[in-house]
Structure 1
C-alpha cells in the first residue's frame, strides 16, 4: 500500500532551534534580569529569577493544542474584546427585510468581502460560471461540482495513477503563476431519501404485488438510516497579482479576469477528468452556487431545495433555488468553542499530517456521520509554491536542522530517531526539488454541523476521536470556529486564516 506524505515538513521553520523571531525575542527579554543579576553578583536573586525565566520561556515556547500559552492569552483577550464590542454577532439583511439587490451576497465573518459575479459566456460551454471575488484576499475563484467514483473499489494501480495525476496537476501549477489555491471539499450528510422517493413515485407500477410493495417499503426504511449522501466540490483560486496585468489585455474588469481564469479552469478540468479519475465536472453558475452556500449554512434546507428542484423540472411554476442575497444564514454568532449559524452549530478542527505519512483514503472514517441530522465537511487546500520560494524554504530548514544537530552534539545529547528522520526528509525534499519536482503547501479543515439543541462539546469530542482513529492528529480551532467553518463547509475558496499578510 502506497503511503503519502513521508516528505512532509513544517511550513514555517524557526530561526533558531525551531523558535520563531518573536519567540526568540521574548525568551531573550525574559532572560535579561537573570543576566543583570549575574553581572552585579546578586547570586541569591538567581534562585528566584532563574525559575521565573524558565516558566516564562515555557509559556512562550511550549505548545498547548498547537499554540503557546502566550498565544492563547492573546486569543482570549481578542475574543473578549470582540464580544464586548458586538463584533461576534451578525444578522443578515434578509432577516431584517433590507434586501436591495437579490444578486448581492450577504455573508457573515470572513465571507463578508465576497462578491459573486456572473461570468462571461465560455466558448463551447453552456451557462455562465459564477466568478467569486474576494475583496479582502484580492482573489478570484470559480467552483465546480465534481463526480468521482471513489477509491473503495480501486486497486493499487488505479490509486497510484490518481495520486500521480494530482501530483502532475500541482507540478504544472508550480511552473506557472496563475493558480494560487486549489480547494477540494467533501460534504457528507445522512441521506434524507428525497431523490429516492421521487424516483420510486416515477417508476412504481400500479400492478405491483402487495408482498413486493411491503418488502420494498421495509428495505427503504432499513436503508434510509444507513445511507449517506456525499457531494464534492473543487474551487480554483487565482490571485489579483497574477492575473491583473494579463486582464488588462483581455478586456479589464470582471470580464477580463474571468477570461484569464477560464484558461486555468480548462487546464484543471482536463486533469480532473484524466488521470485523477473524475467522471463529471460542472462549473456552478450563480444560482447553483447560492444553493451550495445555503446548504452549507443550513443543512436542513437541503431536502426542500432538492424536492423543489425535482418538481420544477416537471412543473415550471414551482420555483427552485434561492437568491444569492438569501444564501447565508439569518443570524450568526461566534463563541470560543463553537460557531452558531441559523438553527445550527458547528465545531471545526484542522488535521495535522502524521509524521509517518498516510494512505490514500485514510480520512474516510472522519467523514461518516454518527447520527441522522449531523453533517461533516472536509476541505483540503493545496497551495503550489514557486521553485524559488521552495528552494529558499528548504535551504532555511536544512540550516536550522544542521544547527540544531550541532548544538545537540556539543552538549552531549543523543540524536533521536525522529530527529534523524526529519533531517533525512529535508535532504530527500532537496533532492526532489533539484530533479524538478514541486513543493506544495497542504492544509485542511474539518467541521461537524449539528442542530443547535444538541450538545456541541460532545460532538466536538466525537469529531476529534474519529480523526485520531484515522491516524491523524486533530487541532481544534478554538477562538476562530467561524473562519474555520467557512473554510471547511462553504465552497468559495476562502482558506484558513493566515498569521502573516501578503
Structure 2
C-alpha cells in the first residue's frame, strides 16, 4: 500500500524583505527613527531620549502583528466600522420586506453582494438550458455556478487520491494557461439531512391502503435516518474579470449574450475535466431559479425543505435575507441565523488530501458547516517574475547570513529547498496558483454562536491547520464561505 501524498510546497503570497517585514514597513520604521539619529548626531541627548520611546511605539504599531493585523490596521478598521455604523451604512433591509420590488429577477443582497446581478444566458447544451450568468458591478467580473456531485475520497485508496489530486492540478493548469479565469472556487456545505426529498417521494408514492404497521415502521425508519443522515452539497464557481473577457465578447456578438457565449466555451472545457480527471459524477450549471435556491439556502439552511416541496422556482429578488443588522465584531447575523467565519492558514509541514474533512462535520443537529477553497491561477509572466524574485531573495538572504557569521538554520535551508523545488516545477510547465480557504459555521439565532465558533476553530486546529477569525469583516467572510457567487475574501493588497 502506497503512502498518501503530502502537499506542502506553498509559500506566503508576498515574502518579507528584511527581518520579517515588508518594504513599506521597513521604510516607515526607518523614517520614524530619523529624528533620533539626527539628535544623536547633533549631540542633543535629551531630544534623542525623548523621541526614542515614540519611535519604539510607532514600530510596534506598524510592525507587530496581532491576529493577522498590526495595531495600526486594527485601529483603522475599527474606526471605519464605527463611522459606518454611526452613519447607518451597515444596516440593510431587502426591498421585498419593504414592499418595493420592481423586478423579481433582480438580485437584492446585502454587503459585498450588493453589486451582484444575474442574467439568463442563451440556450446551452443538448437540453438547451439557460445557465445564469452572474455579473458583479463592484468587482467588474462575470461568473457562472455549477452544482457538482462527487463520490468523495473517504474510502479511496492512496493511489486514487493521488490521481484525483493530479486531475485537479491539470484543471488549474488549464485555467492558468488560458489566462481567462481569475478565480476558481470550490464550495462544500454540510448540514444534517432534513429529509425533504424523502418526504416528497413518500407523499407521491405512499399507498393509503397499506397496513398500519407498515406505515408505522416507515415513519420510524424515516425519523432514525433523518436524525443520523448528513447531506452534502458542492458548488463550483468560475470567475472571469471584465478586462479579460471584453475583447472576446465583442467578437462573439457583444453585450451579455456575447459574454455568456465566451463563458459557455469555458464551461464546456471545465465540465469535461470535472467529469474526467477530477472524478465528478455530475455537473449541472445552475439557472436563475437554481442559483436563487443555492443563495437562499446559504443564508437560511432551514428553508431547503420548503424550497424543495413548495417553492421550486424562487426568484432572485427573494433569495437574500429580509434584513441584516450591522455585523458584529466576531459574528454575522442574517434573519433567524448567525454565522462565524474563519480563514484557514495552511501549515508549513503540509497536509494530505482530505485533511479538512473534520471541519465539515457538524457537531449538533441544526448546525451547518461550509468550506470554500479559492484557487487563483497566476499568469506565466507574473509567476516567472514572482518565482525569480523569491529565488534571488532566498539566495541573497542565506549569503548575507553566511558572510555575517550567522548560522543557517534548518528552517532556512528548508525554505531555500522549497523555493528551488518550486522553480524546477515551474520550469517543467506547472502553473503557480494562489490558494485561500474560508470556513464558516451557521446556527439558529437562539443558539450560542460563540460556543459554535469555538467548535469551528477547534475542528480546524484538530485538522492540522490554524484558524484566523475574520474580526470586523464577518459579513464579507460569510459571503465568501457560504454564498457561491464568486465573491472572494477581503483583500488588503492590489486588485482582483
- Structure 2 match to 1:314: none
Native 8 Å contact 1:17 1:403 kept in 2? no
How far residue 45 of structure 1 moved from its aligned partner, in angstroms, is 5.4
- Of stretches 272-281 and 190-199 in structure 1, the one that deviates more from structure 2 is 190-199
- Structure 1 match to 2:472: 479
TM-score (norm 2): 0.94
Aligned residue among 4, 8, 31 for 2:33: 31
Native 8 Å contact 1:88 1:335 kept in 2? no
Aligned residue among 464, 468, 486 for 2:461: 468
- Structure 1 match to 2:161: 159
How far residue 410 of structure 1 moved from its aligned partner, in angstroms, is 4.7
Native 8 Å contact 2:332 2:338 kept in 1? yes
> How far apart, in 1, do the equivalents of 2:125 and 2:279 lie?
24
> How far apart, in 2, do the equivalents of 1:449 and 1:144 lie?
22
Native 8 Å contact 1:348 1:446 kept in 2? yes
Question: Are the structure 2 counterparts of residues 164 and 464 from structure 1 closer, same or farther at C-alpha, using a change threshold of 3 Å?
Answer: same
> How far apart, in 1, do the equivalents of 2:404 and 2:447 lie?
54
> How far apart, in 1, do the equivalents of 2:290 and 2:220 lie?
34
Unaligned runs of 5+ in 1: 309-318
**What does residue range 20-419 of structure 1 map to in structure 2 within 5 Å?**
20-43=22-45, 46=48, 49-50=51-52, 52-204=54-206, 214-308=216-310, 319-333=311-325, 334-419=327-412
Aligned residue among 472, 490, 501 for 2:483: 490
Native 8 Å contact 2:5 2:158 kept in 1? no
- Of stretches 45-54 and 283-292 in structure 1, the one that deviates more from structure 2 is 45-54
> How far apart, in 1, do the equivalents of 2:42 and 2:157 lie?
72
> How far apart, in 2, do the equivalents of 1:257 and 1:35 lie?
59
- Of stretches 36-45 and 155-164 in structure 1, the one that deviates more from structure 2 is 36-45
Aligned residues: 492
Unaligned runs of 5+ in 2: none
Question: Are the structure 2 counterparts of residues 417 and 50 from structure 1 closer, same or farther at C-alpha, using a change threshold of 3 Å?
Answer: farther
Residues 437-465 of structure 1 show CA distances to partners (whole Å, capped at 9, x for unaligned) of: 11011111111111122222221111111
**Superposition RMSD in Å:** 2.0
1:425 partnered with 2:418: yes
- Of stretches 441-450 and 272-281 in structure 1, the one that deviates more from structure 2 is 441-450
Native 8 Å contact 1:79 1:336 kept in 2? no
Native 8 Å contact 1:14 1:400 kept in 2? no
> How far apart, in 2, do the equivalents of 1:67 and 1:335 lie?
18
> How far apart, in 2, do the equivalents of 1:38 and 1:5 lie?
52
How far residue 62 of structure 1 moved from its aligned partner, in angstroms, is 2.2
How far residue 66 of structure 1 moved from its aligned partner, in angstroms, is 1.3
Question: Are the structure 2 counterparts of residues 4 and 381 from structure 1 closer, same or farther at C-alpha, using a change threshold of 3 Å?
Answer: farther
